[in-house]
């Protein structure tokens, strides 16, 4: 059973939370849908206690909404929610881009360039493009070296993923996103902090337009 396989590594509720998180991101659990705790507990071969603890983790991340006497539901993200999430991401990640442009070592910039080249090569594969894109953004944050910002961005990006499929559907958005990345990458390599900041803010403004 899944409980036996997972219990030896990390707390069971954390493993269950990750399984549910990925099901939400894959749309196996749709936004607005009720989460059947009994069925999931049976499917995973666990009691409802670790499942409920996992749901609390996801509720704290904004992925699940707990409703009094009705149970847990996958969160539905409104246009206002998205606008607020993108606004904060633009502020946090544009600041990180400026820091990296100013302070990163040459070897670190080469690492970012390598990730950008992976992104260039993934333009025909939407799922791979978004996977590499996320790695690029998270590595940029790591290089900016502010753990509080990193945690905030990680949580905000989980909420953003609830709406990711909509942004994927807009024709030409991947090509636009790649062009925006090139501008940010060029500014970082040229050690132009303000240009990197402005480029990242434009990137998120365009992303919001595509997502709504």
86 and 191, same domain (yes or no): yes
The pLDDT of residue 40: 94
Structural domain range at position 133: 79-211
The pLDDT of residue 8: 54
67 and 85, same domain (yes or no): no
Q: Quick check: 3 pLDDT over 60?
A: no
The pLDDT of residue 180: 96
54 and 92, same domain (yes or no): no
The string of pLDDT tens digits covering residues 61-120 is: 889 999 988 899 999 888 898 899 999 999 999 999 999 999 999 999 999 999 999 999
31 and 99, same domain (yes or no): no
- Here the CATH number for the domain that contains residue 99 is 1.20.120.530
Lowest average pLDDT, out of 123-132, 156-165, 172-181, 197-206, goes to: 156-165
pTM exceeds 0.75, yes or no: yes
Contacts 24+ apart (CB under 8 A), 117-124: 119/178, 119/181, 120/178, 123/174, 123/175, 123/178
Among residues 18, 53, 74, the one where a domain terminates is 74
The string of pLDDT tens digits covering residues 170-207 is: 768 889 999 999 999 999 999 999 999 999 999 999 98
C-alpha distances in Å from residue 64, one per residue of 17, 50, 59, 72:
11, 15, 4, 6
């Amino acid at each position: 059973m899944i409980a036996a396989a997972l219990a030896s590594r990390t707390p069971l509720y954390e493993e269950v939370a990750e399984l549910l998180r990925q099901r939400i991101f894959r749309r196996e659990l749709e936004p607005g849908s009720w989460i059947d705790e009994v069925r999931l507990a049976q499917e995973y071969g666990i009691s409802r206690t670790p499942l409920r603890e996992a749901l609390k983790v996801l509720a704290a991340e904004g992925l699940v909404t707990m409703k009094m006497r009705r149970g847990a539901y996958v969160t539905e993200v409104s246009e206002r929610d998205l606008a607020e999430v993108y606004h904060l991401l633009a502020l946090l990640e544009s600041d990180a881009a400026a820091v990296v442009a100013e302070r990163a070592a040459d070897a670190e910039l080469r690492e970012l360039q390598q990730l950008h080249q992976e992104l260039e090569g993934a333009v025909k594969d939407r799922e791979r493009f978004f996977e590499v894109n996320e790695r690029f953004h998270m590595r940029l944050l790591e290089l900016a070296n502010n753990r509080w910002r990193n945690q905030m961005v990680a949580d905000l990006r989980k909420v953003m993923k609830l709406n990711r499929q909509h942004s994927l559907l807009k024709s030409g958005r991947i090509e636009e996103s790649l062009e925006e990345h090139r501008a940010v990458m060029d500014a970082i390599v040229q050690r132009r902090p303000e240009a990197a900041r402005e480029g990242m803010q434009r990137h998120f403004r365009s992303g919001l337009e595509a997502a709504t």
